[in-house]
Amino acid sequence: MKQDSHDLFSPASPARSVPVLVPMPAATPYSYSLPDGMVAPPGSVVQVPLGPRKVVGVVWDGGENAVDARKLRPVEKIFDCPPLDPSMRRFIDWVASYTLSPPGLVARMALRAPAAFDPEPMVEGLRFCGHEPDKLTPARRKVLEMAADGLSWTKSGLAHAAGVSTSVIDGMVKQGVFEQVFLPPPPLVAPPDPDYAPHRLAGRQMDAAEIAVDAVKARDFSVALIDGVTGSGKTEVYFEAIAECLRQGRQALILLPEIALTTAFLDRFHERFGAKPAEWHSDLATRTREKVWRQAATGEIRVVAGARSALFLPFENLGLIIVDEEHDPAFKQEDRVFYNARDMAVVRGRLAKVPVVLVSATPSVESQVNSQQGRYTRIHLPTRFADAAMPDLHLIDMRRHPPERGGFLSPVLLRAVGKTIERQQQALLFLNRRGYAPLTLCRVCGHRFQCPQCSSWLVEHRFRGQIQCHQCGYAEPTPQACPECGTLDHLVACGPGVERIAEEVERHFPDARTLVLSSDLGGVKRLRLELEAVARGEADIVIGTQLVAKGHNFPLMTLVGIVDADVGLANGDPRAAERTFQLLSQVTGRAGRTGLKSHGLLQTYQPQHPVMQAIVSGDADAFYEREIVEREKAILPPFGRLVSIIVSADSRAEAETHARQLRQAAPQASGISILGPAEAPLAMIRGRHRFRLLVHGRRGSDMQGFVRAMLDNGPKERRSIQVQVDVDPQSFL
């Protein structure tokens, strides 16, 4: 039978069956029978029984009537919502097969809006029925003037338009002036207008925008990489591509890391297009999420700005995907389905035949190579808008300019902070460590506080009076005495976190307004307000973790100090140099965006390190070149491929045995080898012991086939064993 046939209904035929993908870790769809008269083409969102529960699933392709329907439980209901289109279904299959995840779990990501499948209820409205009220007060007259055209209004909408209170309208309703009608619910956001307030693009920006706009005009799959320094106007350029997409009447998706914190981005979009985009992230209220899902599916929402999971929204008519800050590690999901939204965005674009635009001031090595090899079109913006200078960057050699005892800030950095605030400008001190101190130990016996369930130290959070595990969230009040030797008041904090830096700053600058920005010090609402306050200049010295690095515009910020530029270099991650380079470039890129002269100072014990040299010389190209050569030599991504397999269990022995047996089950394949099993660097998380296998292959190797065979031939996952497969891993812990 043809796959997309709508001709399933035929009363004479015997009972029919359909495959339904249910939101479960099952390898294939389950079969259900279709009650007489029910029509459920592939893509239909349905309710089916599953054990004792009712679940939402999607009718899948192929295999209609493949199973004797008489033995099957029936589909209970078809929801009145647009079906998932064929390209979305192929996308789900593709992601499942690439990430080696059950398709049902991928489908679940596309269906994560429980009540969105039924249409939104109609809202009550009023329509003038030609019947004038007895007494025509001035207020009533204003209402009649508005309503005389016979159109339908909501009560509050009419009151607002007529400039009267709703009680005036209530009175008129009682006299039978209006008849009751039902209206479709209003859209969540107004439609953006592509020509609302376009900016005049400058020189290079114009050429760049033309390439991006042409890609949209082609109405076909392509990938472009906008590679431009911080503040060069990359956002302005892709706004033009979005405008073109809107003119075509199609929908655009913008993926952003940390969208929840980027209100400034939403405002900027609003100024350009006269309306906000719909937001999509995990901090949305359930009702709002459901509306976004539904209105993306019906096409009412034209632009979604969202976190990585927005990639699984069922757009009605997608015309463009933007991935801003494409290098950002936050695009990688490391939970259940391990996927990189940047890479999967390219896949979705290919399947849906729409252009994809990747954007970054510090593109990933993967995307750099793809653009060098001509697979992606490179759109280059080498200078800041309006000739604003890039910050002047210098290293502080901490061996020559050490901080005073017990401190972490070099006198050189402190002097620069002092001068900055004297000029009434802002300084940002960046340290990617939450809390007060990353390690606490007993000065008498040397006891170190470790999480009882993880192999990680407990981090002191002085503000909350707790020591916390950053792996599992375990927390206890900061103890007074050492649990090992019992000595009182001899615990020492080792190393700095942002809270400790704030303490040091307050000691040196007691009159300055100091603000700590860290994700553990408040929810999204509070952080949004604080970021806005910083942008308005309401803080002199900001001490922040990486959440300040991303995309914010702080007009008065002219000094960025990196407290510990070496942090990220020491962790055995093949991307350590790249990551450090990206993060430090992003953070220092916060300085001087409005043309004020600005500085970046990086505290380091390794001033000769290639990453440090690349940053101060401003020669990003040389850095990438070198990094690409090294990757190629070591056959690391994108020149080789990696799959990480983590085997965890309640006991160390169980985990290790299972991992060894898995390795023995591996097929022979030329060009693919396995490292390990070895205890993972984080040997225990939440009481589970972890062993890691790393599968390494040359580019073009069938990694998925290899790993699938290994898992199929390997031991069953019994008892507490869990096997986690991470294709293209970002984390090596």
Ligand X SMILES: Nc1ncnc2c1ncn2[C@@H]1O[C@H](COP(=O)(O)OP(=O)(O)OP(=O)(O)O)[C@@H](O)[C@H]1O
Pick the binder of ligand X from 67, 161, 181, 202 (CB under 6 A): 202
Alpha carbon distance 542, 430 (integer Å): 8
* 201 scored as a contact of ligand X (CB under 6 A): yes
Alpha carbon distance 531, 283 (integer Å): 17
Which of Zn ion, ligand X, none sits in contact with 233, Cβ below 5 to 8 A by type?
A: ligand X
Which of Zn ion, ligand X, none sits in contact with 228, Cβ below 5 to 8 A by type?
A: ligand X
* 469 scored as a contact of Zn ion (CB under 5 A): yes
C-alpha dist (Å) from residue 194 to 211, 249, 322, 373? 18, 10, 16, 34
* 471 scored as a contact of Zn ion (CB under 5 A): yes
Residue 81 marked as a ligand binder: no
Alpha carbon distance 541, 550 (integer Å): 18
Closer to ligand X by CB, 233 or 496: give it: 233
Cβ atoms of residues 44 and 83 within 8 Å: yes
Cβ atoms of residues 650 and 689 within 8 Å: yes
Structure tokens at 696: 């390494």
Alpha carbon distance 431, 394 (integer Å): 17
Closer to ligand X by CB, 471 or 553: give it: 553
Closer to ligand X by CB, 144 or 264: give it: 264
Which of Zn ion, ligand X, none sits in contact with 453, Cβ below 5 to 8 A by type?
A: Zn ion
Cβ atoms of residues 35 and 68 within 8 Å: no
Closer to Zn ion by CB, 454 or 725: give it: 454
- H, E, C per residue of 621-675: HHHHHHHHHHHHHCCCCCCEEEEEEEEEECCHHHHHHHHHHHHHCCCCCCCEEEE
* 32 scored as a contact of ligand X (CB under 6 A): no
Helix (H) or strand (E) holding 92: helix 86-99
Piece of the chain touching ligand X by CB under 6 A; list 32-40, 82-90, 159-167, 228-236: 228-236
Q: How far is the CB of 525 from ligand X (least distance, A)?
A: 23
Residue 438: phi and psi, rounded to 5, are -75, -15
Alpha carbon distance 502, 434 (integer Å): 12
Alpha carbon distance 214, 237 (integer Å): 12
Piece of the chain touching ligand X by CB under 6 A; list 212-220, 225-233, 344-352, 506-514: 225-233
* 205 scored as a contact of ligand X (CB under 6 A): yes
Helix (H) or strand (E) holding 163: none
Pick the binder of ligand X from 47, 65, 553, 571 (CB under 6 A): 553
* 146 scored as a contact of ligand X (CB under 6 A): no
Residue 245 marked as a ligand binder: no
Cβ atoms of residues 266 and 274 within 8 Å: no
What residues numbered 513-552 form the site for ligand X, per CB under 6 A?
A: 551
Cβ atoms of residues 503 and 463 within 8 Å: no
* 199 scored as a contact of ligand X (CB under 6 A): yes
* Relative orientation angle of helices 234-247 and 203-217, to the nearest 10 degrees: 30
Pick the binder of Zn ion from 472, 475, 567, 636 (CB under 5 A): 472
Residue 497: phi and psi, rounded to 5, are -120, 175
Pick the binder of ligand X from 125, 194, 231, 676 (CB under 6 A): 231
* 391 scored as a contact of ligand X (CB under 6 A): no
Structure tokens at 431: 């340290």
Q: How far is the CB of 688 from Zn ion (least distance, A)?
A: 11
* 47 scored as a contact of Zn ion (CB under 5 A): no
Q: How far is the CB of 248 from Zn ion (least distance, A)?
A: 50
* 235 scored as a contact of ligand X (CB under 6 A): yes
Sequence-separated (6 or more) residues with CB below 8 Å from residue 285: none
Alpha carbon distance 492, 584 (integer Å): 30
Piece of the chain touching Zn ion by CB under 5 A; list 55-63, 177-185, 220-228, 461-469: 461-469
Q: How far is the CB of 326 from ligand X (least distance, A)?
A: 11
Helix (H) or strand (E) holding 8: none
Residue 454 marked as a ligand binder: yes
Please work out the total of residues on this chain that contact ligand X, with binding judged by CB under 6 A: 18
* 571 scored as a contact of ligand X (CB under 6 A): no
Closer to ligand X by CB, 128 or 385: give it: 385
Alpha carbon distance 237, 607 (integer Å): 36
Which of ligand X, Zn ion, none sits in contact with 589, Cβ below 5 to 8 A by type?
A: ligand X
Q: Establish how many alpha carbons lie within 13 A of residue 98's alpha carbon, considering only the half-sphere containing its beta carbon.
A: 18
Closer to ligand X by CB, 551 or 637: give it: 551
Q: How far is the CB of 211 from ligand X (least distance, A)?
A: 16
* 454 scored as a contact of Zn ion (CB under 5 A): yes
Closer to ligand X by CB, 234 or 342: give it: 234
Alpha carbon distance 377, 356 (integer Å): 10
The type of residue at 644 is S
* 474 scored as a contact of Zn ion (CB under 5 A): yes
* 453 scored as a contact of Zn ion (CB under 5 A): yes
Pick the binder of ligand X from 83, 102, 228, 607 (CB under 6 A): 228
Alpha carbon distance 696, 641 (integer Å): 6
Sequence-separated (6 or more) residues with CB below 8 Å from residue 157: none
* 699 scored as a contact of ligand X (CB under 6 A): no
* 361 scored as a contact of ligand X (CB under 6 A): yes
Residue 129 marked as a ligand binder: no
Piece of the chain touching ligand X by CB under 6 A; list 45-53, 134-142, 226-234, 624-632: 226-234
Closer to ligand X by CB, 230 or 440: give it: 230
Pick the binder of ligand X from 57, 233, 496, 677 (CB under 6 A): 233
Neighbour-count burial of 14, counting CB atoms closer than 10 A to its CB (0-12 exposed, 13-18 middle, 19+ buried)? exposed
Structure tokens at 643: 């799959």
Closer to Zn ion by CB, 44 or 456: give it: 456
Structure tokens at 124: 């009550």
Closer to ligand X by CB, 271 or 404: give it: 271
Q: What are the helix (H) ranges across 234-337?
A: 234-247, 263-273, 286-298
Closer to ligand X by CB, 31 or 205: give it: 205
Q: How far is the CB of 280 from ligand X (least distance, A)?
A: 20
Identify the CA nearest to 153 among candidates 169, 176, 137, 167.
169
Alpha carbon distance 109, 93 (integer Å): 12
Annotated binding residues: 442, 445, 451, 454, 469, 472, 482, 485
Annotated binding residues for Zn(2+): 442, 445, 451, 454, 469, 472, 482, 485
Q: What are the residues binding Zn ion (CB under 5 A)?
A: 451, 453-454, 469, 471-472, 474
Q: What are the residues binding ligand X (CB under 6 A)?
A: 199-202, 205, 228, 230-236, 361, 385, 551, 553, 589
